Structure 1
Amino acid sequence: MNITMKKYMIAASLLLGFLETQAQVIIDKDVNQVVSSPSVLIEFGTQPKGLLLPWVTNTAGVTGAVAGTVVYDVSDKKVKYLKGGTGGGWIDMSIDANGVVDTSLQDTPTDLPTAKTVIGDRNTAAPGILVLDSPDKAMVLPKVSRPAVNIINPSAGMMAYDTNSKQLAVFNGTVWTFWKASEVPTVTTATGRVWMDRNLGASRVATSSDDTAAFGDLYQWGRLADGHQLSNPGFTTTRSITDVPTTSAFIVNSPDWRLTPNDNLWQGVNGTNNPCPSGFRVPTAQEFEAERNTWSTQDTPGGFDSPLKLPKPTYRGPGGSVASYGTMLYWTSTVSGTKVIFVEGGNITNSNDRSFGFAVRCIKN
């Protein structure tokens, strides 16, 4: 999903007073910090902190909003933006449906209807509590490496740019959701299903089974894209007690990166920690099996010869080492006891520990 805010960001919340300015703005504890470019309207410092979006009771009750409005909807605990044009409307950026928010501080005060801050064109008619309006300048979000790890105690409705994964990150009060600034490249197979045309993290469609640029990232089953899936993640033996580890390291020397297994991870497009782009999810074993049955041969060569162009990526073992097994290895979302079904060449019945790092190929919901 491409999210561009070239002209303005508009949102509705509580602010006392009215302010307008045409100057470039930087918010940083270093008073000597200057804006990074003449094209910047507002940007933030280098501290590991995010931008907290305005909260609204329910986007259904927001009247007069224009395309580009970004808010945190308290009713369903999701970050949303208003898309204009064909297919427009409030777009869910959080995906995960298990957000948590404490509104006790906001429940009593009364909003000032005329409150408004404008940065840029002081004559703008766009409504909102904060309006950024400029024909040639844009906002630069707070830039944080691995916000899921380095932003301590994030608040519901927080937004930042992850400099590590090069993705937009939003927090719904429970988990971070990551967005890539591009359309998702897809392929339609013989089953009629739409898949991503490459593995998560891959830079291109595979040109051969051994094409390393097409291998992609190696995910521990059920984890979000917090950095552990990358080529040099660091390692720890401390297992997580929650669905979102406090580390971006690959958790080693255990059958599960979680202290207690959670079978609800990666279940469906709205599943907790779904690592796939919006509208996509990790496929089930049955969906992979349906694809395999259409291949010229039901094995690794057949997978590459299929429209999916599946390479045979490396994997990361529970000890942290990367190795090649010489066949396809892909996660499914299908749980089998304490283990999870994975694709092993033409076999889609074997299961493995959740601490392994395997490739992921996403299917459209």
Structure 2
Amino acid sequence: MTSAQGHSPENPFPVRGVAIRVAGWIDKLGAVWVEGQIAQLTLRPNSSTAFITLRDPAADMSLSLTCPRDLVVNAPVKMTDGTQVIVYGKPNFYTGRGTFSLRVSEIRAVGIGELLARIERLRRLLDAEGLFDPRLKRPIPFLPGTIGLITGRASAAEHDIVAVATGRWPAVRFAVRNTVVQGPNAVPQIVDALRDLDADPDVDVIVLARGGGSVEDLLPFSDETLCREIAACTTPVVSAIGHEPDNPLCDLVADLRAATPTDAAKRIVPDTAAEQALVTDLRRRSARALRNWVNREAHTVAQLRSRPVLARPLAAIDARAEEIHRARAAARRDVKRLLATEADRVGHLTARLTTLGPAATLARGYAVVQTIATSGEPHVLHSVSDAPAGARLRIRVTDGAVTAISEGSE
């Protein structure tokens, strides 16, 4: 049994058979509206057909278009590379060359109003997703060692940034990536350069720079793919696109927006002279503050030392010592006077006692007679009856005592 044609090496399709079948399948497709940027427009002399390459600005994809020459020449706006258009055409496969193209019957240029409306819709979408949140902004390093720069080749923006940055800080280094900055090829090249610099560990900050231009010229910097790539970078990104009035969406996603490329260089690189002047001023201010503090503390110490309690710390003790000495002298004087007075009084009392005492009486020739009882206790003799004959007597005189025997009274 013979296999169906095209399903075995023994019974293959001829080239024309495949081409005719592919053309038939594609011819069954209906006409479609397609939007994109003109990447290449070719108008050959003496040819009634124009050839256009239509590119998707958000992806590395393109379509080949063919259309009548008059459709391009008589378009309401001038068709050039980078023009955003909407075309209506029918897919077509040319069997003679085996190529696919879109046969265009209508071309409409996207107006400025429509472009701005699309940018506004994209802005609201990215804002709702939080890509503009200030809390997600990465801080710019104070002194970046290497600056990644994405800009056009030999552009004024590159010259301004490099000149201003090196003038402010001569040691700064640049990693420059030159790309196209407008047209259909801008977004893919800028995204590749951004990824390359973000992966470089030596790059501390990335600057995306371009000079001024029309809304159409700055369209790549409001592209959704580029905005999301900036948000995904781990390295801080500075957007320096156009001039002050220009405000593409990448300005809102970037970590820092600079009004101009020159402003970007000033904001990411410190000025050597200004920093040295600041250091000098801070040193002078700190030295003055330190001297003022030392003088203030020295004045405080001098005031404390000038106080009497610190100037003459023993003055209070000396004053009290003099009082103590006077008190001791007065006490000693009073005690001596009291002792002398009492000594005189004791002497007078002693003299009186001596005069009135029995010893003085005995000294004048008198004697004290005592009877000695059997118990041995002497008693003063008061009456002759107390000393009968034979009683023992003790007679005390001035220089001693003698014993005697009573012979009776007389």
Q: TM-score, normalising length from structure 2?
A: 0.24
Larger radius of gyration, structure 1 or 2?
Answer: 2
Q: Indicate the structure whose relative CO is greater, using CA pairs within 8 Å and at least 6 residues apart.
A: 1
Q: TM-score, normalising length from structure 1?
A: 0.26
